[in-house]
């Protein structure tokens, strides 16, 4: 199915585009250098061997199965102790869904989801919303569009942003209803650096800009599934703490493209411990309880419901309990051993030593920031499950 031309600027590549894009990549020395660094086996037979491997990938899913899936499997086998998915709440696996998740890692949130879907018997992966601020080089933009990503345009004027948001909403409707493709999108722009995960109402408003019908009809066509992502260890915890101090101490501080690349690399190759993905039920049956409410109230309720489902389905680890006890002097020691606490305290001290700030480290502030990152999922989980 050829995607309408109106979406050409943002859509993933169609299968018909792939061979031409492969030819362009094979002439890009930066791309070949990255392949050599992270997948040396792909170049074991030289450029022509890689060209032949690409040539056999006639669909985007073929490319994911040949290149992305094995690479992600290798990463999680080396950098995690377990990687699991609970999809038991989905009663219809043939239905395309919009998975809205908390945002833990720039690259891996969606990549791990795709791997876990394939591993757990789903027939297809998801299309991925990705900000153009992360596409630092032309070959990266090509790779992500082969890998079923559609582009979220940033840094636009207000008028341009409205037009871009409407086009993206219409593209998502097209992908769901015509291409029958599920979609992954983060609940907010950028990661929640303190792990206090909250859905932006603007995201829901954007998704409702396309299509016809009233607000509940539009919401039901999206088939939204809240998705919880839980990491035992966040490889970027020290970088996030470092960014907090830089923003506190340096007026107008903004991350550079190089900072984004460092965060991506650290997130991919850092140790994560246990990783768990948990799908809540599709929200469509719950939406029936909102009949008759004004639009603004429906939006507020939907955001709250998504957050509640994400928070309730976190997997909570010993680190989360220890961090909360260290911050608030509470006692959840029935959830961890003294050895686990000593190990986590040592881990935090090691992470602290990795932080580099020109004005000098504020160790108390940085430690509080890292503890908060690990405590907030538990705080939100306790509130969600108590209610």
Residues 61-74: tens digit of each pLDDT: 999 999 999 999 99
- pLDDT over threshold 70, residue 361: yes
pLDDT in tens, 231-271: 999 999 999 999 999 999 999 998 887 888 899 899 999 99
Instruction: Identify whether 4 is part of a domain.
Output: no
Nearest-5° Cα angle at 50, 43 to 115: 95
Say whether both 95 and 210 belong to one domain: yes
- Token pair, residue 207, equals 């998704």
Burial of 65 (0-12, 13-18, 19+ CB in 10 A): middle
Q: Nearest-CA neighbor of 28 among 144, 142, 147?
A: 142
- CA–CA distance, 72 with 83 (Å, rounded to integer): 11
- Tell me, rounded to whole angstroms, the distance of Cα 265 from its chain centroid: 15
Instruction: Identify whether 337 is part of a domain.
Output: yes
Query: How many domains in the chain?
Result: 2
Say whether both 218 and 168 belong to one domain: yes
Task: Determine the length of the chain.
Answer: 387
Say whether both 197 and 329 belong to one domain: no
Instruction: Identify whether 28 is part of a domain.
Output: no
User: What is the pLDDT averaged over residues 316-323?
Assistant: 98
- Give 150-157's long-range contacts (Cβ < 8 A, gap of 24+): 150/7, 150/10, 150/11, 150/12, 150/175, 151/9, 151/10, 152/10, 153/10, 154/189
Half-sphere exposure of 191 toward its Cβ, with a 13 Å CA cutoff? 25
Instruction: Identify whether 13 is part of a domain.
Output: no
Instruction: Identify whether 43 is part of a domain.
Output: no
Q: What's this model's pTM, rounded to 2 decimal places?
A: 0.94
Say whether both 216 and 165 belong to one domain: yes
Q: 209, 169 in Cβ contact below 8 A?
A: yes
Which CATH number belongs to the domain containing residue 93 in this structure?
3.40.1130.10
Instruction: Identify whether 71 is part of a domain.
Output: yes
Instruction: Identify whether 18 is part of a domain.
Output: no
Q: Nearest-CA neighbor of 104 among 203, 225, 235?
A: 235
Say what the pLDDT of residue 153 is: 86
Structural domain that includes position 246: 236-255+316-387
Instruction: Identify whether 23 is part of a domain.
Output: no
Q: What is the DSSP string of 307-323?
A: HHHHHHTPPP-HHHHHH
């Amino acid at each position: 199915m050829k995607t309408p031309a109106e979406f050409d600027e943002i859509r993933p590549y169609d299968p018909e585009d792939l061979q031409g894009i492969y030819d362009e990549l094979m002439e890009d020395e930066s791309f070949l250098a990255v392949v050599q660094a992270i997948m040396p086996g792909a170049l074991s037979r030289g450029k022509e061997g890689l060209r032949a491997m690409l040539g056999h990938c006639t669909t985007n899913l073929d490319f994911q199965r040949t290149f992305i899936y094995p690479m992600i499997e290798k990463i999680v086998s080396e950098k995690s102790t377990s990687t699991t998915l609970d999809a038991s709440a989905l009663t219809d696996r043939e239905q395309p869904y919009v998975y809205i998740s908390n945002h833990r890692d720039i690259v891996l949130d969606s990549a791990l989801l795709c791997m876990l879907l394939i591993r757990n018997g789903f027939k297809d992966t998801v299309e991925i919303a990705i900000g153009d601020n992360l596409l630092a080089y032309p070959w990266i933009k090509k790779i992500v569009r082969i890998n079923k990503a559609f582009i979220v345009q940033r840094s636009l004027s207000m008028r341009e942003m409205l037009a871009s948001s409407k086009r993206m909403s219409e593209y998502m409707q097209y992908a769901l209803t015509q291409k029958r493709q599920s979609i992954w999108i983060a609940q907010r722009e950028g990661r929640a650096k303190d792990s206090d995960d909250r859905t932006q109402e603007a995201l829901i408003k954007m998704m409702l800009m396309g299509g016809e019908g009233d607000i509940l009809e539009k919401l039901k066509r999206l088939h939204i599934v809240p998705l919880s992502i839980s990491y035992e260890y966040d490889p970027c915890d020290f970088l996030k703490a470092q960014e907090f101090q830089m923003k506190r101490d340096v007026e107008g501080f903004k991350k550079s493209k190089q900072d984004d690349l460092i965060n991506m690399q650290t997130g991919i190759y850092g140790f994560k411990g246990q990783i768990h993905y948990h799908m809540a039920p599709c929200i469509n049956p719950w939406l029936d309880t909102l009949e008759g409410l004004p639009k603004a109230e429906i939006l507020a309720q939907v955001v709250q419901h998504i957050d509640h489902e994400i928070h309730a389905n976190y997997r909570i680890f010993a680190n989360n309990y220890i961090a909360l006890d260290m911050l608030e002097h509470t006692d959840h020691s029935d959830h961890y051993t003294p050895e686990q606490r000593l190990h986590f305290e040592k881990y935090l001290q090691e992470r602290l030593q990795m932080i580099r700030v020109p004005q000098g480290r504020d160790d108390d502030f940085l430690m509080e920031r890292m503890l908060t990152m690990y405590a907030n999922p538990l705080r939100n989980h306790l509130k969600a499950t108590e209610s």
